[in-house]
Structure 1
Amino acid sequence: MKRRHFMQMSGLGLGAMMLSEVPVVGSPVAEAQLLAPWLDAATKKKLAETALNAARDKGATYTDVRIGRYLQQYLFTREKQVQNIVNAESYGIGIRVIANGTWGFSATSDVTPDGIAKCAATAVAIAKANSKFQKEPVVLAAQKGVGDKAWKTPITKNAFEIPVKDKIDLMMNVNGAAMDNGANFVTSNLFFINEQKYFASTDGSFIDQDVHRIWPTFTVTVTDKASGKFKTRDAISSPMGMGYEYLDGLASEKIAGPNGLVGYRNSYDMVEDAIMAAKQAKQKVTAKSVEPGKYDLVLDPNHLGLTIHESVGHPTELDRVLGYEANYAGTSFATLDKWKTRNFNYGSKLVNIVADKTQPHTLGAVGYDDEGVPCKEWDIIKDGILVNYQAIRDQVQILGEKESHGCCYADDWSSVQFQRMPNISLKPGTEKRSVMDMIKGVEKGIYIIGRGSYSIDQQRYNFQFGGQVFYEIKNGEITGMLDDVAYQSNTQEFWNSCVQLCDQDDYRTFGSFFDGKGQPSQISAVSHGSSTTRFNGVNVINTGRKI
């Protein structure tokens, strides 16, 4: 599934299209199979050693092995109907080698000693065949083996242990609450993923990881029969690296804004959000259409996360910068010559953006990446200056570095791992400032909540972003709801217009659950944190007016 297509749908409403468009990896299984035990760590280590030895015997100078079991459960409803329930499982082994200075990869679902040995031999044969066309040998950053390690997403409730009936009951309550508060149509969806991954390499690492992710979401639609207009509002939830405790409401921190509730942290009240969504969608039907012009924008984290994703996350992927990733959504304007100067103003001095795969409860949080590298945090933009990219073991020497950033990932055992976006986040402000405080200083502005449709060019530079809910700001006060709002800018101009940030108390994450990249395409999940942020003098257009 194309990332652009998915993100557009998540802005316009998921609906029935999601039944056929959501990427499913693996074969359908019974619900009980999702809880069936799999291989223990000792068995996986023995199988991995079979692969390492077989590849070495065939001439590999480096080998890594990923034994994986990938579980998915997706639930779809509409009003009072269950539309679909998907339970899927995929398991097998992927073997990556270097032989004659060249990469080779092969994968198999035959997880037996004989099947694994044949797969390893195939990977080496592919590497040797490819070496005839390799101009320079692969150079891997050194990585000391970590021995036997284990890491698990810190969950308290395994989502796969919660009966489907309980999940459907929640979704029916969500739909009913929206309908009772004015919605004419509503779709709700729950996505659960569990990756059971074992990594081994000739560096001496044997790593067992158990990764969980969750995403509750919905779209409500309100119609006006008199005018024929209809408006939607999507959930303001964020997908998280958590278990079902995200939906139990016990640890919920509600974030208040000038017009009531604007977000959640640590857990999410799906019913409460659906009620608010129905009321806001009704208000959107009669909301004033925006007058085009320059406005100061106050952007909520649930909105700004998508802008970060597209205008900072993707353009600082090193393979995209180098042109290796071009067919899938283009390259990047943030070329190496800009980075080398150490004075390229990506944004104002308030803009500090970090990459990491360690922040708790985020989609990208794991202990080790798919090259066995311990995950960490590093600077991408510091005081507005572009200082680094996202790079893995065979890329960092291009940057003059000796250590991988730890951001390599494959979406399945049958996929070869490559550089994927870690969590990319804007650091909050250091001065105490609430959303209310920020709005008080705005004379002419718009407060934007939620992610909407968007477009960005093939160099991740010129863009346009919409949203879910828009409020007009006049002389430091919210005066009412607006509609038909989108803003246009270019990446450098936009981030240099950043003038204020709320503090840590307002910090929240946005997430992309199905982010696509590569050929053949793969998906990954990534979070983007920020607090509410102000950008001055941004061009706003009216999306409802005919040209």
Structure 2
Amino acid sequence: MELVPKSEEEQMQRRDFIKLGGVGVGSLMLPISGIAVSAEQLLDKPMDVAYKKKLADIALNAAKAKGATYADARIGRYLNQFVTTRETRVDNIVNTESAGIGVRVIANGTWGFASTSNMTPDSVAKTAEKAVEVAMANSKFQTSPVKLAPVKGTGEVSWNTPIKKNAMQVPIKDKVDLLLSANSAAMENGANYITSILFVVNEQKYFASTEGSYIDQDVHRLWAPFYATAIGENGFKQRQGLGNPVGMGFEYLDGLEEDKIRIQGANVGYKNSYDIVEDAAAAGKQLKAKLAAKSVEPGKYDLVLDPAHLMLTIHESVGHPLELDRVLGYEANYAGTSFATLDKWRSGKFQYGSDMVNLFADKTQPYSLGNVGYDDEGVKTKEWDLIKDGILVNYQATRDQVHMIDQNESHGCSYSQSWRDVQFQRMPNVSLRPNKKDISAEDVIKDVEKGIYIAGRGSFSIDQQRYNFQFGGQLFYEIKDGKIVDQIEDVAYQSNTQEFWNNCVQTAGKSDYRLGGSFFDGKGQPSQVSAVSHGCSTTRFNNINVINTARNV
């Protein structure tokens, strides 16, 4: 069945926005956009590429006829599947579809945007004209014209996430059985409660611009988290799954043996595939150990951080503060500003971290959440340095921002969560380069006399300039004389971004490099979400302040 324009009543229904409460993820609201459809409808044939081009040309020509000097059109079909289970039952299964076109223009040197779910030629033309009208109205308040970095038109090109198993094609029963098997494994091994979830996303996106680009992309993402709880005499303990959200198909859940990560005998994570049943069983056992574990003694420790944990610290202390719009104050009202101001970058000497620290941005890493061929401005994606040998060298910027940092090439990090929302600067994958020497995680641990190994992401707090922070985790192991000795509890570490990264003294090599990520990263007003990965190897930080969260000291 081909996606075709629907009746006006159906089109209005497409503007509905379903929001599902995130079970087990605190107060986070998980946006599942679109109207409810059957699982079979998620497999409907997408709109023909030739028809997409026809609609896009209608939009671009209508915008130019109304006075636009630049225009782009994004035709999108966004598919989501959400399956949630608890203990022995299925709580919810939701399938949604959202489709439409968004038109962005520059007129009178000012941005304008409009969108519609009614993809008839007449409606598309009127939407483009409306975008120009919005730009004209906004131009009354524009103090300087929009300046775009040049981009050469691509012609007609396509890009697809290189999946092996389309998760949308896997029967619901198989997905439910997998989640319930994980629940059973957790409860058989010590958990009293568990919620397991599967998110499957498919973005079918078409971009066209007046510069001659016609880009068709098929993007797939997947996430299978769980949240387990065990109750003891003195309270309860919780453990989240150690799997990662990924830019892959259902093959990620194959649980290949070579992708399992064990550090000195402890099950701490996975690489390019995930065994959710094994992880849930380990969580049950580790929860029992958590209930009996001794509480950490506050003080200074050398920390050895697993990639599944450090990814969140990278996200908050590097990814967000180096977004150029945040640096310039554009996000101050909603998400704060950044300590990494332009004067620090211009000096060419700002020591963000030790000379061991090399952090880079990109949207090209295989299996990552941000992996696409082109961003939502039609810019071919690439890799670039943010921190080199510890020095701040660059930011993340889009076509209309790079001139502000004396550059003439977009970084290719523009993104919109849907056709109905305007694209803007979003965090690409931001990662820590592994050691050039291929040393192991055990090598990173072996010289630690008094330390703590932390795996999995936990609670965190960071100030509005992304400077002072506190991070917890899922699993904590005491390190003595180069060996992991005991599981401990109630651990959180405190530092500031510059002090923390300057205390980085060692990273493991390429064979230990793994990707973690955030499936729902919020930003902007109106708020949008995006998915972004962060890669790193096991990394050591010396002399970090650790507090006891149970004693709050």
Counterpart-to-counterpart distance in 2, 1:164 and 1:260 = 33
Counterpart of 1:448? Answer: 454
| Letter paired with 2:24 | G
Counterpart of 1:64? Answer: 72
Q: Aligned pair 1:149/2:157, yes or no? A: yes
| Letter paired with 1:212 | H
Counterpart-to-counterpart distance in 2, 1:540 and 1:382 = 28
TM-score, normalization: structure 2? 0.95
Counterpart of 1:300? Answer: 306
> 1:390 offset after TM fit, Å?
0.1
Counterpart-to-counterpart distance in 2, 1:461 and 1:277 = 32
Q: Aligned pair 1:515/2:524, yes or no? A: no
| 1:453-492 correspondence runs (5 A) | 453-492=459-498
> 1:251 offset after TM fit, Å?
7.6
Counterpart-to-counterpart distance in 2, 1:512 and 1:389 = 20
| 1:27-176 correspondence runs (5 A) | 27-176=35-184
Q: Aligned pair 1:406/2:451, yes or no? A: no
Counterpart-to-counterpart distance in 2, 1:335 and 1:486 = 28
Counterpart-to-counterpart distance in 1, 2:358 and 2:26 = 38
| Letter paired with 2:105 | V
Is the 1:252–1:266 Cα contact (8 Å) retained in structure 2? Answer: no
Is the 2:353–2:390 Cα contact (8 Å) retained in structure 1? Answer: yes
Distance 1:114-1:353 versus aligned 2 partners, 3 A rule = same
Encode CA deviations 1:74-104: one digit per residue, 9 max, x unaligned.
1100000111111000000000000000000
Tell me how many residue pairs correspond in the alignment.
Answer: 534
Counterpart of 2:506? Answer: 500
Counterpart of 2:368? Answer: 362
Q: Partner of 1:315: helix, strand, or coil?
A: coil
Counterpart of 1:212? Answer: 220
Is the 2:261–2:267 Cα contact (8 Å) retained in structure 1? Answer: yes
Counterpart of 1:309? Answer: 315
Encode CA deviations 1:450-505: one digit per residue, 9 max, x unaligned.
00000000000000000001001111122201111000000000000000000011
Counterpart of 2:549? Answer: 543
Counterpart of 1:3? Answer: none
Counterpart-to-counterpart distance in 1, 2:56 and 2:421 = 17
| Letter paired with 1:390 | Q
Counterpart-to-counterpart distance in 2, 1:100 and 1:439 = 59
Q: Partner of 2:225: helix, strand, or coil?
A: strand
Encode CA deviations 1:140-161: one digit per residue, 9 max, x unaligned.
0000001000000000111010
Instruction: Decide which moves more: 430-439 or 322-331.
Output: 430-439
| Letter paired with 1:118 | K
Counterpart-to-counterpart distance in 1, 2:25 and 2:150 = 48
> 1:431 offset after TM fit, Å?
2.0
Q: Aligned pair 1:221/2:229, yes or no? A: yes
| Letter paired with 1:32 | E
User: Alpha carbon RMSD of aligned pairs, Å?
Assistant: 1.4
Counterpart-to-counterpart distance in 2, 1:460 and 1:275 = 36
> 1:174 offset after TM fit, Å?
0.4
Counterpart-to-counterpart distance in 2, 1:299 and 1:546 = 22
| Letter paired with 2:197 | N
> 1:16 offset after TM fit, Å?
8.3
Unaligned runs of 5+ in 1: 1-5
| Letter paired with 2:60 | L
TM-score, normalization: structure 1? 0.96
Q: Partner of 2:33: helix, strand, or coil?
A: coil
Encode CA deviations 1:52-82: one digit per residue, 9 max, x unaligned.
0000000000000000000000110000011
> 1:268 offset after TM fit, Å?
0.6
Q: Aligned pair 1:185/2:199, yes or no? A: no
Is the 2:256–2:275 Cα contact (8 Å) retained in structure 1? Answer: no
Is the 1:251–1:266 Cα contact (8 Å) retained in structure 2? Answer: no
> 1:15 offset after TM fit, Å?
2.7
Q: Partner of 2:96: helix, strand, or coil?
A: strand
Counterpart-to-counterpart distance in 1, 2:178 and 2:487 = 30
Distance 1:473-1:219 versus aligned 2 partners, 3 A rule = same
| Letter paired with 1:377 | E
> 1:221 offset after TM fit, Å?
0.8
Q: 1:15 aligns with which of 24, 45, 62?
A: 24
Counterpart-to-counterpart distance in 1, 2:133 and 2:336 = 32
| Runs of 4+ residues deviating >3 angstroms | none
Percent sequence identity is 66
Counterpart-to-counterpart distance in 1, 2:503 and 2:467 = 15
Distance 1:392-1:16 versus aligned 2 partners, 3 A rule = closer
Counterpart-to-counterpart distance in 1, 2:178 and 2:489 = 31
